[in-house]
Amino acid sequence: MKVLISGANGLIGSELSRQLRSEGHTAIHLVRHPVNGPDQIFWDPMASKFDPAAIEGIDAVVNLAGATTGKIPWTRRYMTELIDSRINSTKLLVDAINGAKNPPKVLISGSASGVYGDQGDKWLDETSPKGDGFLADLAHRWEQEAEKASCRVVLVRTTMVMSKKLGALGKLLPLIKLGIGGALGSGKQWWAWISLEDEVRAIKHLIETESASGPYNLTAPEPATCEQIIRELGRQLHRPTFLKVPAFAMRLLIGIAADELLLCSQKMTSHRLQESGFEFKHPTLVQSVGYVIS
């Protein structure tokens, strides 16, 4: 296959490219710097610069572009960037797909668990309603833009991606390694999670599964709370995890991002993904943490 990837230099995009190339596929990166090889195509979504001819002959488009939500605190200006970087890039790709004489067979477009908002202990599947909050509104708009494409569209609702390169664990893992980590807030909030390897394997599976369309939760089948995840990291690293961070302190330090990213609870199911034939390599928390710290 020839797969066009936006956000190809990010955590997920770079691993997707590696896996595709290792299997003999062609991964083509959309880049915002001067092109320096046949596997790169220039674009500038903020300026609506993209040659629509680049979409011709592509089998699949994987849209992962978007400013990181991990840059905190979120200022008003950065929240606007979070929106524009996703909506503008998706619109540009969709317009190119819809205008192509030989369009791609599928668009795999990024979304996020944030679409559900804070839902406590409720099980969340792909039919669960949109939640409240900034990230819920953003993910919903992102999905709506992708669904305008004339090809098969798959919306990958990504959760916390656990990686050897830290990824969504961000600054948490180094603190645990130092023995000064602990649960955030009450620690009882559900954190949906998936290993980087399974995240990318799921994206490839959804590209190749012609019956797959619409939203899919990209989350491991075993649910876990914030406290359980941090405790397991500490156990496998042989470090204590007793130092809890109070919710009020997090809100003072990082503002709205505390509630939207770290204190909200999302207990997501992977049933739809598994029913499509996908098998996890790291289905349990113990296995995924072992993958991260190995």
Range of the domain at 112: 2-293
Question: Average pLDDT of 59-69?
Answer: 96
pLDDT value, residue 174: 87
Is the per-residue pLDDT at 166 higher than 70? no
Is the per-residue pLDDT at 170 higher than 80? no
Is the per-residue pLDDT at 10 higher than 80? yes
Question: Average pLDDT of 145-164?
Answer: 96
pTM of the model: 0.96
Average pLDDT, the chain: 95
Among 21-25, 176-180, 218-222, the range scoring the smallest mean pLDDT is 176-180
Beta strands in 65-222 (DSSP E): 106-112, 123-124, 152-158, 160-163, 166-167, 193-195, 214-218
CATH code, domain carrying 210: 3.40.50.720
Number of domains in the chain: 1
Is the per-residue pLDDT at 180 higher than 90? no
Cis bond before residue 38 (omega within 30° of 0): no
Question: Average pLDDT of 246-252?
Answer: 95
Question: Average pLDDT of 123-133?
Answer: 98
Q: Cα 87 to the chain's mean position, in Å?
A: 15
28-31, Cβ contacts within 8 angstroms, sequence gap of 24 or more? 28/2, 28/3, 28/4, 28/58, 29/5, 30/4, 30/5, 30/6, 30/65
pLDDT value, residue 206: 98
pLDDT band at 269 (very low <50, low <70, confident <90, very high): very high
Question: Average pLDDT of 71-95?
Answer: 96
Is the per-residue pLDDT at 167 higher than 90? no
CB burial of residue 23 (10 Å; 0-12, 13-18, 19+)? exposed
